[in-house]
Chain A
Amino acid sequence: MLALQAPNRSVTLALLCAVIAVLAMVFPSGYYYRVAALVWISAIAAIGLNILMGYAGQVSLGHAGFLGIGAYSVAIGPARFGLNPWLCILIGMLLSTGLAWLVGRPILRLKGHYLAIATLGFGFLTALVLANETRWTGGPDGMAVARLSVAGVRLTSSVAWYWISGTLLVLASAVALNLYDSATGRALRALQASEIAAATSGIDVARHKLWAFIIAAAYASIAGSALAFFDGFITPDAAGFLRSIELVAMVVVGGIGSTVGSIVGAGLLVTLPQLLTVFVEYEQVALGFIIMLVMIFFRRGIVPSAQRFIVRRWS
């Protein structure tokens, strides 16, 4: 097993900022800014999920549920309760992390595929509630979201959200990368390797798993709120099973455990449907084919595979 040099944290963040800045200079139209903004937003949720799946090794097939909660908080708060949209972002995070704490404590006792089913059920249930409670949420047709304003300026354009979500992404990555090397991060990585060994060396396994779950929920909630504000509209599919699977695919395809991997995975899965429209009715065929191809040939994920390739070439 080749010892991979973990790239310097600051270098990674600097590169990320550079990419965000450079792309902004080459985009020809609002459409590109929109797609990129969606990539940054999905990447935030994926990075959170990566903390849960990659650092702590716990699988979650219902993560989009937290995204939905963050999104609907900023939709329902101003519309039904007249609350300040900024405050609702916070409320969304509180609700998500609170729910994560409540639900996480019992279900994180389950392992492997059983945990997968429990998280699946959670996501399913969240989407169901959002779809059924029509009076609050507008039902399956969704509801409009009042836009965010800063100093009287309404933030509606794709360009504005490109920069906002880009900044959020840099912050989110910074926190995640920092976490990786911190004591909590090491504890999480230890319990992923072997829960029993971690427990015998004094790590409170249950508490750390819960922390990972809560942090991941917070990330998803912020991403959800950003998505709702950007679109000006939200529907329950944002919390649905397909969205959860998409998030898992982003993390896995990009490389479990790698923050940059999650960003790459998000980039691939958000832009691919846009690129594949050329195939018209074969779009789904092409999408499924590419996902399989990527996972077969880059089975550790794109970024780790690329790292190994580089290391092998230059050593």
Chain B
Amino acid sequence: MTRKLHLSIWLAGAAITIALTAGESATAQDIKIGSVLSATGPASFLGAPEEKTLRLYVDKINAEGGVLGKKIVLVVYDDGGDPNKARTFATRLLDEDRVTAMVGGTTTGTSLAMAPIFEEARIPFISLAGAVEIIDPVREYVFKTPHTDRMACEKIFADLKARSLVKIGMISGSDAFGKSMHEQCRKVADKFGVTILADESYGAQDSDMTPQLTNIKNKAGIQAVVNPGFGQGPAIVTRDFRQLGIAVPLYESHGVASKSYIELAGAAAEGVRLPAAALLVAERLPADDPQRAVVLAYKQAFEKATGEPVSTFGGHAYDGLFILVGATKRAGGTDPKKVRDEIEKTAHFIGTGGIVNMSATDHLGLDLSAFRMLEIRNGDWRLVQEDR
């Protein structure tokens, strides 16, 4: 027993020593960028590609000479989707690692928990989360790159209205993403003349949604079904949708904007429509589309480096990083106030999510045209032609 005790004490001591002495050995000349991502936990589906993208491109930028001649040092922490932990890591980034900017915050919960800290410390924070609350009301130092869930609803409803399918049923995931988008959809429904006749929800980890879909199927007058959700839930909803033989059109959200949705849902995904960034249909974009070059390059680089299909979440991280890099270059240094001002002046930045034009009142910079309406045909994405 005493020997084991000794052993354990040694091990503990060693571990603590490693922990305290390890860490990025950066010089004062480097640009330190922090990132708190949910690489594990329920949002790892989003956080993992974000982390891979950031690391991939920081290495690339450094290999090509860095920014303003300085190397970028990326400090990444994994919050596991826990806002409390995220806040602790944010404090660590500011107090210990002394970062001058932050690109991260995979989920709305973690982003909202960290935003006040960066705001108070006057360090620019570019969030990678979806909810509109992150930038509305506008906080001086907080920005974001992904389209808001409200925009997704508006895009879907606009398409529904164009097809005269105004009576709908909704089935939403009960995770943060699904619920938030569900709330936004309810808020904007009237603007488009859409009535929600049935409103069901499912647990994010559920494996069978036939009870909820049966209720929707039995509701008379439903012309289309919208499914706000992300992860594996929508794939199962899609499969069950076909299993029950529901004949009306199904709309998914931008949360499933990744090839794996098509793989998981299989043949059931035929005919499903969803709003997504141009990144997903990179090859199909017309030659004169301004985003074509950027998204193709990112898609190829990501898929080559990771062997995984590209996802729009990784794309948001790409946009965040390059908006920051661009602003740093224009600011001529890492002074947080100057960088913040330059981020706010981002104009005509061509990212994977769209063309970004920020302003003092708009810390996102995207409009509805950044979303493309896609339809799944023969196991692949197709752009739905629309009036621009």
Q: Chain A: residues with CB nearer than 8 A to chain B?
A: 29-31, 34-35, 38, 131-132, 134, 139-142, 144, 158, 227, 231-233, 235, 237-238, 273-278, 280-281, 283-284, 290, 293-294, 297-298, 305, 309, 312
Contacts and interface: CB of A to CB of B under 8 A. Distances in A.
B269 to A, nearest CB: 26
Interface string B165-203: 000000000111001100100000000000000000000
B84 A231 contact: yes
A233 B133 CA distance: 14
B87 A158 contact: no
Contacts of B2: 309, 312
A134 B174 CA distance: 11
When A and B form their complex, which 9 residue pairs have the shortest distance between CB atoms, in order from nearest?
Answer: A140-B176, A275-B19, A31-B95, A29-B95, A278-B22, A233-B113, A141-B108, A31-B92, A30-B95
A243 B348 CA distance: 45
Contacts, number: 100
Interface in B65-87: 76-78, 81-85, 87
B35 to A, nearest CB: 12
Contacts of A134: 179, 183
Contacts of B215: none
B109 A142 contact: yes
A306 B52 CA distance: 43
Interface of B: 1-2, 4-5, 8, 11, 15-16, 18-20, 22-23, 39-40, 76-78, 81-85, 87-88, 91-92, 94-96, 107-109, 112-113, 116, 131, 133, 174-176, 179-180, 183
Contacts of B88: 31, 34-35, 38, 274
Given A140-B175, A284-B40, A309-B2, A276 B19 contact: yes
A245 B5 CA distance: 26
A273 B88 CA distance: 11
A309 B84 CA distance: 36
B22 to A, nearest CB: 4
Given A235-B113, A309-B2, A277 B179 contact: no
A281 B55 CA distance: 13
A140 B8 contact: no
A140 B133 CA distance: 13
B182 to A, nearest CB: 9
